[in-house]
Structures are given as structure tokens and as C-alpha cells.
Amino acid sequence: MPNLVIDIGNSLTKLAVFDQNEIVYSYTAPAIITDFVSEIIKSKKVNNGIVSSVKSELGFDEAVIASQINYIKFNKHTKIPIKNNYQTPDSLGLDRLAVVIAANYLYPEQAVLVIDAGTCITYDSVDATANYYGGSISPGIKMRFDAMHHFTSKLPQLSFDPNFEGDFGRNSKEAISSGAINGCVYEAEGFIKTFLNTHKHGKIILSGGDSAFFDTKFKNSIFANLILHEPNLVLIGLNTVVNYQHDLK
């Protein structure tokens, strides 16, 4: 039976219906309401569902949804198919946990580094025996532009141009773009090299809103054959968690 997966982020809510581990329907909006979710459940004949949220307010009535399907509210107590060794599970972002679960599903018995490029850029890895120990959180590209303007008196507010080229800026605007954009790329390269030094046959997955930019940057790099670009990684991870509950039965 199809699974309903809902990921509520800081700015957007992503909803997807999976059938046989494939997305057959998806919808993204700032928020979703109870009637809309109920209609999806009925029209897609959904039987199981999971919700993950970074917010306390979901925007829809959980009780109504739970009365219609086998409902899971993803949290630190949910049974998962990897070993979570994070020292402070209460503070671990559920999106970070979901992406390493997805990574382990996509590349079983392999070490995987996930670079999730969104508001922040997170670097998380799971080893070949499904152990997750943690990762790194860094400012995202847009956040770097915003911070340079906010915390200085003269630097202008600039927007992220994914087509920016050049190692160094020839003027102040280009210098800001070079620092923010190239800084992120060089940072990611450093994390990848460090990961591969430990896991020579490891894989890298790019996800998140800015993942297409990084995918383009690494297309012709020495890492190209190791990289998978999967923008729906959080949704895949959540769907994996739903399926895992049934495997336990």
C-alpha cells in the first residue's frame, strides 16, 4: 500500500506519496492543511504515513490524519534501520537523521557522506555497518551573503548567483560572491577528501535546495563518479523508516 511522507522544514513543507519505494505524487508549499492531506490519503489510497517537522506547529490536525492511516510522528524514539550514536539525540535535527537513513538504504553496506545544502550545509556520514556518529553544520550560501551584509557597515546585500565564475573578485561585489560561493565549494571539497581518506570506496550524496549547484561544480571533478545527486533524500529516508516498521512485524 502507498506511503504518505511529509517533511515540514523551516520555509517549505514537502509531501510525497511512495508506491514500491517510488515517488508517484509530490507537492511542495509553505504549508498544508488538514483537508488537503485527507484528500491525498483518499485519492491515493494511502495506508501508512509519517511526518517529520522542525516546527512545533504542523499546520494540520494530527488526530484527524492518525484516524485515517497508520500514522508515525518521526522523533528520536522511532525505530530506525541504522545505529544512532549521536551523543545528544535530543538536539539532532530529524532531517539530518533522515538523510543518513536514506543514504544507508541507497548504498547498503557502504560508507556514505551526505552533503545537504540548504539554509545550512550539513555534512553527515554513515559507515558500512550502518553506524551514524554525527557530522558538521555550516552556514549555507545565502546565509553567508546575508551575514556579510548584516554584520558589517559597508558591504552590500547581494544574492546568490549560481552562474558566478572566477577564483577571485575584481571588485567588491565579485569579492563577496567569490568568498561566499567558492568558500562553500572549497569547504565541501575538504570534507569529501577527509571522508575519502578514511573510506576509500565511499560514496557521496548531494541533497537540499542548493544541491544542483554543487552537482554542477563537481561534475568534472575527481569525485564525479562517486557522487549521486538526490534532491528528495529526506523523503526517501522517511519512507524507509515507514517500511522498516513493517519489517519489524
Rounded to 10°, the helix 94-106/233-247 angle is: 70
End-to-end distance of the chain based on CA atoms, in angstroms? 16
Indicate if the alpha-carbon torsion angle 158, 161, 166, 170 is positive or negative: negative
Choosing from 7, 95, 116, 210, the catalytic residue is: 95
Residues 31, 9: Cα–Cα separation, whole Å: 10
At residue 116, the 3 state secondary structure works out as: strand
Query: Contact 133/126 with Cβ under 8 angstroms?
Result: no
Residues 3, 22: Cα–Cα separation, whole Å: 10
Query: Contact 211/112 with Cβ under 8 angstroms?
Result: no
Least Cα distance to 69 among 90, 101, 40, 96 occurs for: 40
95 is catalytic: yes
At residue 200, the 3 state secondary structure works out as: coil
Residues 166, 162: Cα–Cα separation, whole Å: 12
Residues tagged active-site: 95
